[in-house]
Amino acid sequence: MVSNNPKIWSTKLDEALWAFRTAYKTPIGTTPFRLVYGKTCHISVEVEHKAFWEIKEINLDLERAKEKRVTQLHELEELRLEAYDNSLVYKEKTKRWHDAQLKGPKEFNPNDMVLVYNSRFKFSPGKLKSRWTGPYIVKKAYSTGYVELYGNGNTFKVNGHRLKVYRDDINAIELDDIKLYQK
């Protein structure tokens, strides 16, 4: 829609803001436009049509107009309170879902062998290059979740979430147990 030239952005900004303000938002259960004006957004042809009928049926009774406006303001306030409640319910559901996705703390014992996830690749090493380095030996596991590791002559501390247990099962399998089928 827009190019790199910032001068063009200003021409599309009004349309983008209009789209944002009139789009339904799940957390609040309505549109921002409705929260501000108390009415749903209509296409301009519908607005013109309604305005024509309103002009035909206009009533200049100020007392009735005042009562109607007060009622509209109360309805608008109720709508805003309902949107606030909807946002709280949405946040609670999102938090519950997020908490359900969290995994419990990993437990490591001294002398366990672990692999460390290396997330600091500066370049793309290729599809088949593993980001797990090691194995390292656990010296001590702290209650805060940090683990002290030993490997390559160095001792260092790592967050336990970046570790996984190293299993050297492939070396434990004897070749006689593997049956090879030839055609």
Q: Choose the final residue of a domain: 51, 66, 101.
A: 101
- With bands split at pLDDT 50, 70 and 90, how would you rate the model's confidence at 8? confident
Residue-level pLDDT at 183: 47
Ramachandran area for residue 38 (φ above 0: left; ψ -120 to 50: alpha; else beta)? left
Task: Please count the structural domains in the chain.
Answer: 2
Range of the domain at 70: 6-101
pLDDT tens per residue, range 18-47: 788 888 888 888 888 888 888 777 665 555
Tokens of residue 80, six digits: 């805003």
Rounded Cα distance between 67 and 45, Å, is: 29
Indicate whether 31 belongs to any domain. yes
CA 141, 146, 100, 113 dihedral sign is negative
Indicate whether 107 belongs to any domain. no
pTM above the 0.95 mark?
A: no
Residue-level pLDDT at 93: 92
Residue-level pLDDT at 13: 78
- With bands split at pLDDT 50, 70 and 90, how would you rate the model's confidence at 57? low
**Greater model confidence, 2 or 135:** 135
Same domain (yes/no): 68, 136: no
Percent of the chain predicted with pLDDT > 70: 73
pLDDT tens per residue, range 154-181: 899 998 888 888 887 655 555 445 554 5
Rounded Cα distance between 100 and 44, Å, is: 46
Q: For the chain, give the number of residues.
A: 183
Indicate whether 108 belongs to any domain. no
Contact of 175 with 167, CB cutoff 8 Å = no
Same domain (yes/no): 10, 90: yes
Mean of all residue pLDDT scores within the chain: 77
Tokens of residue 106, six digits: 């990993």
